[in-house]
Structure 1
Amino acid sequence: MKILIIEDEPRAASQLQNLLTKSTLDFQLLDIIDTVEDAVVWFQKNTIPELVFMDIQLADGLSFEIFQKVEVTAPIIFTTAFDQYAIQAFKVNSIDYLLKPIQQKDLDAALHKFSKSKNLSNSIEPNILKELLGSIQTPQKRSGILVKEGSGFVQIRVSELLYIYSQDSITFGITHNKRYIIDETMDQLFDSLDDTKFYRINRGQIISKISIQKIEPYFNHRVKLSVSNPRDQEFIVSRQKTSDFKDWMNK
């Protein structure tokens, strides 16, 4: 079976591949894609796969946006770290989902469901798609964040954060004078932040608008940022996001 994985977290993509290898599915992995933009191009240029595993939140937006830009007739199994996101809508449309971190038994059950019903479809009615997009795009934004300090935790104001980055599977939050460890993933954090004030410039960095001091051209059509309290970090906006980042800065 030819499958496609659309997932922006390398660890999650690798875990899914390992679980698929342990399952009874005889599969050929066609590709791993991490952005809405690249997924749209892939579907335009390639034969539709027999099954797609699709993360909801990708590097440049929500995977539901793919359906607004290109027709996808392959059956979809969605993956998500957030079970509050209109999950019932998936069931209404006969689309299965897997809650991260994905467990072998849940993957096997989803594959069993797929094998029993070859007419599974990704088709989402317009009103359901609108509901799904709205439920994810308009969550309540947080004003505080719990961080580790010593052997315990303290809460800091989100407005204090200059940027957030991930390194060696650890998430760090930087203020003007301190670095904190945050016990959440980059996906979880970015979804809960005000996207008019914070921007995910690449897979491993989220930047606050107030921290940006200078924007300079960088090779391969990217841009490089100078920020407050940079420590040992370089801040380079990914090629796919450069145009959108400039629009965000102009707002």
Structure 2
Amino acid sequence: MPYRQQLSLILIALAAVSLGSAATAQENNSVVLAREGQPVATIVLAERPTCAAQFAAEELRYHLQQVTGAVLPMATDAAPVAGPRILVGESQQTAALQLPGEPLASQEYLIRFLPDTLVLIGKDADQLTAVQYDPDNPVGYATWPQLFSEQGTCYAVYDFLERYCGVRWFRPGELGTVCPQRATLTVSGPDVRRSLEFKYRYAYPQMGSSAYEQYTNLWNWGNRAPAEAAKVEEVEALAYP
């Protein structure tokens, strides 16, 4: 659940100008992810996925559940998967598809629709530690992708959720997250291969408040500009007097 608002307009604008995008006109393949609130697709990771890919897969599953009501199963590429699949992060299965093709540049990512296959991959740091995906437990934050580490697969997932599922993040917490409800979700579109213009993106909010909202950090990940927790209560007081 990306951490959803704190200087939202600034961060979204910064993300927009920091990345150059290329959407190529390819054959549009449709991939069914959920039908009538039941999972259809499986999220597939490498047997030893990167930290960024693990985190991205959890974020993808969370948001798709908010959109469709379905909890998509997860699997590794150690065995074949029946039905539609979502390949999150590079793996043996993406290599079998000869993807990403040209090597990914720093923080670059790729979204591709193939028959019964959605590919969401990016340039990730070679960090293979297990991710503890529990936004209510700050201890787990140390296992998430680090501040300026390569996490292109996370960018691929957030861009996909925004472009093709209509998800929006306006402020931290559930109130600021918009997930359009669709019990049946079929996605399709042209390839997106997006590369970096600004190497470092960061928000500099006022720090030092004793107030801490556990969702702020994750929201910043969702907006492609990781930052530390800010004075969320003051922001809320201004935004919602």
TM-score over 0.5 for the alignment? Answer: no
TM-score scaled by length of structure 2 = 0.31
Q: Of the two structures, which has the highest relative contact order with CA contacts closer than 8 Å and spacing of 6 or more? A: 2
